[in-house]
Structure 1
Amino acid sequence: MSQFTDICRINVKGGDGGAGCMSFRREAYVPKGGPDGGDGGHGGNVIVKADAQLSSLIDYRFKHHFRAERGTHGQGSRKDGKNGSDLILKVPMGTVVREIDGETMEPAYEIADLTHDGESVVVAPGGTGGRGNPHFVTSTRRAPAFAEKGEPAIEHWIELEMKLMADAALVGMPSVGKSSLIARMSAARPKIADYPFTTLVPNLGVVRAGEYSYVVADVPGLIEGASEGRGLGHQFLRHIERTALILHVVDITGGFEGRDPLEDYRIINDELAAYAPELAVRPQIVIANKCDASGMTERVAELKRAALDDGHAFFAVSALTGAGLQTLMLACGEQVAELRRELAETSDAPELDEGKWERERQARDRRFRVVREDGVAWRVVGRGIERLVVQTDWENEEAVIYLQHRLGRIGVDDALVKAGCKPGDEVRIVGYAFDFEGAGDLDDDDYEDDVDYEDDVDYEALALDDEDTEE
């Protein structure tokens, strides 16, 4: 039997970009052949893609490192390098992808929430291939003797968290009969026994009742303090978040411990509200199970009054004999259908925006900020800016001059001045450092015809915090 895995962390790295080629055409009877270096190939991306056929993250339980293919280097005669192949990592629908902070190893921000079959997000972009020297020809620079290096891809950790995509979730204390109910209501066959925490993983079942068909999740039992992580709380409360309807199961007999059903009902509702306040107002049906036991009439009446006072529908059933189940299943189907209609009417968002997560990633890449470092230098932080720096051949003076002019064009010099950087101050970007010369004049004739600047890309300097610019 395959193991159920609903949260894991993996290390991902796109392929490195290939280097651009610095070459000149050398051919008999062709004087001044000009630059003809090819571009380096782009590295492959690591892509996380939702697949409706998967139900667990088991593929990432034991393997944690994933690498895409690198791009190859450019060659002379304008031969471009080959792009690296993408690496696609398939995950179940309902998987949330988060960036992990490299220092604290805690989730930093959400990258994507993949709720549609086929929805995908690039989690580790491949390095950009370096451009060959023909790209740097201008009216005054006819024979550029430099090319760009390939961009090394960034290696980092991400977290994958799967949240079940079900219409309704069976919740309640351990051993109240949730597994028996889902087995009666659907074709699901969970492990059933008369001891607490028999169910250690969520189970899904498709219920068909009359004209209705819907998916029910059997969530492992909760206990008091589950919202704070007691028992299996944090591991499985997440699976209730996406469900439209909560089926709150109460053992009317009190179980072997002789618990008070009314107190159980209150405890579970308090834990749901403590974990996520929106769960307190989520539509709920209260189910009194094991009503085939003798002498339960008064207890059933008390629980029914409490449920109706809270605005919840109430049903008394027996998972053992099947009494009351058909009525319950039909009522659940009707409420799920109504909730689906309400969602369809109130939602203005399209079904699937395939480019949404990629646009957000590119916007993050274009942002940069200036921070004070060690009280003696300034550091420019931002993936897009860092890409330009690592692709520069720092042994080539012409390439370095080109980079400085380019940084000025995209607003880095202005951001440094705004932060308080003065001429002569040290500026650091990735592993390189140089002295700031001030915001220069960008109308240098040597660059006016250069068409390779990314003028269509809007680099955004983030607002500078006062603490970042303190002397």
Structure 2
Amino acid sequence: MFIDKVRINVKGGNGGAGCMSFRREAHVPKGGPDGGDGGHGGNVVVQADASVSSLIEYRFKHHFKAERGTHGKGSRMHGATGEDLVLKVPVGTVVREYFEDEREVGEMIADLTRDGESVVVARGGMGGRGNIHFVTSTRRAPAFAELGEPSEERWIELEMKLMADAALVGMPSAGKSSLIAKMSAARPKIADYPFTTLVPNLGVATSGDLSFVVADIPGLIEGASEGRGLGHEFLRHIERTALIVQIVDLTGDWEGRDPLEDYEIIKRELAEYASDLAARPRMVVANKIDVPGTEEVCEALAAKVREDSIAAAGGNEFVESPIDPKLYRISALTGAGVDSLKAAIATKVHDLREAARAAEAADIQYDHVWELRREARERRFDIVAEGDAAFRVVGVQVERMVVQTDWENEEAVAFFQHRFKKLGVDTALEKAGARDGDEVRILGYSFAFESPTAHHEDMYQELDL
């Protein structure tokens, strides 16, 4: 089964709790704090793997969770780090955010185009710090530790796009499957009715010392760029190909279509689906030259291809055009002209690869880019007024601080107040109109606000939990 788009839920492992402990030994009445840290939770990582050919593993299982970190112990014994969960996907997979409630796709997280390339999609929670970290000159015996940090959880969309060097495109029954079968060891289903091919087929073709990967894209119809038929499902697989090979059926098939009109329809649909496809290197192939009576339309098509090639070069026939000015004439049934076509495609693909390699910029570090974007987003918080004298603070980092605090421990609460003030939440609340005694809500907790200008040591007094 060919599965090329799935949506899954990923959740990192929660961090383990830090330990509150004091050293106890004979003849050492005041050994001091020795609570170990909790282990970090494992991450969920999406990694491109050349040995994976589809997303079928995620067809029926939609929830994936990494291992949690274990809790810290006394005697400075730190908890174990949870193991990362690595999800293998085909090379050429695009990873995007997905919002399940709204049924909407968000921004792109990564475009994994190389074997081994990976990105963290759900970060594990940090382990809570043990009480050994909270010793200060005035706090010699901290009787509190941090709880483990909750992990990230999100829905993501995985979309596989074929990584082929050349894509065969054309109307239904133009002979694409027959051609890929002649050019490579691929054995697609071939029959004399439209839409025999319903999923893309890949084959590796060799010509001399050169080889290339060719994709047989299911037949397109007029309106494919607007989603007619399965237009979008097929067209997106052309986006990555370096070379487009347009197949034109000289006979017009059983429907008696006009081959020149077919040529224009496919050219138009490619341009309307994605503007850059109009400028993508393209070769035009006339198929079924073995059928009598096709010579005249073949010459007319050749003239049209030369005309389009000159137009694409800005009207100068001496400037290289993205459209090959030559019309390649073949019979996918008898094999006539296939070897010369294969050699031309191999040479063109080789030249395009070399040009791309020379112009290639430094590798995009998706993990680094996504991490910076994620950290900036987590640091943000919003103040929302909820009725008279009530405000809610919403933000990932603020909410994480609340979850990590042991509310049964007064020292832990005081430490939270200090971090809260340092983050600038107090000042933001005051600017939002909060006054002494107003209620401040975070998750399921509620506090009384006291203005930071009052210079109280404890800005908040907990009301209810």
Contact 1:370–1:416, Cα closer than 8 Å, also in 2? no
1:287 to 277, 285, 288: 285
8 Å Cα contact 2:51/2:90 also seen in 1:
yes
Task: Give a deviation string over 1:107-163, Cα, whole Å, max 9, x none.
Answer: 111111111111111111111111111111111111111111112223321111001
2:334 to 321, 325, 328: 321
Paired residue for 1:182?
180
Compute the displacement of 1:9 (Å).
0.9
The residue that corresponds to 1:56 in the other structure is 54
Distance 1:28 1:136 in 2: 25
| Matching residue within 41, 44, 47 for 1:43 | 41
Does the 8 Å CA contact 2:381/2:398 hold for their aligned counterparts?
Answer: no
The answer to whether the 8 A contact 2:120-2:367 is kept is no
Query: Per-residue deviation at 1:331?
Result: 1.5
Which residue is equivalent to 2:382?
370
Residue 156 of structure 2: aligned partner: 158
Indicate the larger mover: 301-310 or 42-51: 301-310
1:229 corresponds in structure 2 to 227
The residue that corresponds to 2:313 in the other structure is none
Alpha carbons 2:384, 2:393 under 8 Å: kept: no
User: Residue 402 of structure 1: SS of its match in structure 2?
Assistant: helix
The letter of the residue matching 2:235 is: L
Is residue 434 from structure 1 mapped to residue 447 from structure 2 by the alignment?
A: yes
| C-alpha distance in structure 2 between counterparts of 1:338 and 1:68, whole Å | 44
Aligned partners of 1:39 and 1:131 also within 8 Å: yes
- Residue 27 and residue 142 in structure 1: after superposition, are their counterparts in 2 closer, same or farther (change >3 A)? same
Q: Distance in 1 between matches of 2:151 and 2:358?
A: 44
Q: Name 2:270's counterpart in structure 1.
A: 272
Structure 1 position 373, deviation (Å)? 4.7
Partner Cα distance (2:455, 2:23) in 1: 31
Alpha-carbon shift at residue 399 of structure 1 (Å): 1.5
Q: Residues 329, 128 of structure 1: CA spacing in aligned structure 2 closer, same or farther, 3 A cutoff? A: same
User: Percent identity over the alignment?
Assistant: 65
2:405 maps to what in 1?
A: 392
Shift of 1:249: 0.9
- The counterpart of 2:423, out of the listed 410, 413, 419, is 410
Residue 431 (structure 1) shift: 3.4
CA pair 427-98 structure 1, distance change in 2 beyond 3 A: farther
The answer (yes or no) to whether the contact 1:290–1:318 under 8 Å persists in 2 is yes
TM normalised by structure 2 equals 0.89
Alpha-carbon shift at residue 81 of structure 1 (Å):
1.3
Answer yes or no: is the 8 Å Cα contact 1:16–1:128 preserved in 2: yes
DSSP-derived class of the 1:239 partner: helix
Gaps of 5+ in 2: 310-322, 458-465
Deviation of 1:412 (Å): 3.5
Specify the alignment match of 2:190 in structure 1: 192
1:356 is aligned to 2:368: yes
1:30 corresponds to 2:43: no
Structural mapping, 1:432-471, within 5 Å:
432-439=445-452
Q: Which amino acid aligns with 1:396?
A: N
2-side partners of 1:258 and 1:72: how far apart?
70
Match of 1:335 in 2: 348
Residues 319 and 101 of structure 1: CA distance in aligned 2, closer, same or farther (over 3 Å): same
Return the match for 2:16 from 7, 15, 18: 18
SS class of match (2:336): coil
The answer to whether 1:127 aligns with 2:139 is no
SS of residue matched to 1:104: coil
CA RMSD of aligned residues (A): 2.3
Query: Is the Cα–Cα contact under 8 Å of residues 121 and 357 in structure 1 kept in the other structure?
Result: no
8 Å CA contact retained: 1:405, 1:442: no
Q: Please list the CA deviations of residues 296-349 of structure 1 after superposition, one character each: whole Å capped at 9, or x if unmatched.
A: 111112222222222122211110111111221122122212222222222232
SS class of match (1:315):
strand
Moved more, 164-173 or 226-235: 226-235
Kept after mapping to 2: 8 A contact 1:408/1:442: no
| Cα shift readout 1:239-287 (whole Å, capped 9, x = no counterpart) | 1111111111111110111111111111112221221111111111111
TM-score of the aligned structures, taking structure 1 as reference length: 0.88
Matched to 1:409, the amino acid is: K
* Corresponding residue number in structure 2 for 1:6: 4
Map of 1:261 onto structure 2: 259
Q: Distance in 2 between matches of 1:421 and 1:328?
A: 75
Q: How far apart, in 2, do the equivalents of 1:108 and 1:223 lie?
A: 29
